[in-house]
Amino acid sequence: AVVSTQSTGMQPRDTAGGGAAGMTKEEKVKGLLDEILERLPEEFNMMEMAGRTEDRSPYTVVAFQECERMNMLTSEIRRSLKELDLGLKGELTISNEMESTMNSVFLDRVPGNWSARAYPSVLPLGAWFADLLLRIKELEGWTTDFALPNVVWLAGFFNPQSFLTAIEQSTARKNEWPLDRMVLSVDVTKKWKEDFNSPPREGSYVHGLFMEGARWDSQSGMIADSRLKELTPACPVMFVKACTVDRQETKNMYECPVYKTKERGPTFVWTFNLKTKEKPEKWAIAGVALLLSA
């Protein structure tokens, strides 16, 4: 139900199928470098995309921004690896930056010049690259016809805030409500991504959220105590829509912070109001939060 970010292909320390122990550091890095370059898709053609749609709705603007950010990241990955490749072949002098990229790739870490252009992530390089390919695939699907996906993978964005803001903007436009009076309301459904065949008429279904410090109980439709050994249980699909602040439900709600990663802090995204039978303070004291990556 949840997009897995576990790497299936790249196994950085063992690329040569059993003979890796006898390989030099440079040979290992070269094997990985070739694999990444081979699997990295082409950049998004922004001019061609712009020619395909007249629509400049808030959602389409987000799609364009995300593709531009993705192009900046993938072009840097391609540039730095091609440069390193020339260095390994002896055609270029190995610079400090190339040395740093080589060490990161060898140790299954994301090079600093990539993560500076990416999104917060705590994944090792192999899993990070598999996750990157999923993000690109998601954008490719969305920008084929610019129709909002049935269920949006909220974690797949560089900037999830801009997508959530777009929900407010499009609802405000449609109903001619003032944007500064808009808030989001979140209903946790009982379904998973595969169960949806179309997007909602207004707002968006989102998936890929995990709860830390508690769990979502689908039967009661409320936050409940976490189970032993379930550190970050996945939540069902959430229906995120916008309403004016005077229509917002605030009774029996826990203002649950949403973060991109377990590191929390600077990765804060939004606050989702979630139903609770118990006092909201209980969850606040327990530090209950939603995460966009388990």
Among residues 285, 271, 288, which one has the least CA distance to residue 224? 288
Residue 8 burial class via C-beta count within 10 angstroms: exposed 0-12, middle 13-18, buried 19 and up: exposed
Distance of CA 154 to the CA centre of its chain: 6
Note the pTM of the prediction, 2 decimals. 0.89
pLDDT of residue 10: 59
Q: What is the DSSP letter of 11?
A: -
pLDDT of residue 219: 95
Distances (CA, A) of 23 to 14, 33, 98, 245: 9, 15, 20, 62
pLDDT of residue 13: 45
pLDDT of residue 11: 53
Instruction: Note the pLDDT tens digit of each residue in 137-179.
Output: 999 999 999 999 999 999 999 999 999 999 999 999 999 999 9
Residues of the chain falling short of pLDDT 70: 1-21
pLDDT of residue 14: 45
Q: Alpha helix (H) ranges present in the chain?
A: 25-39, 46-52, 58-88, 96-106, 112-115, 125-145, 160-175, 280-285
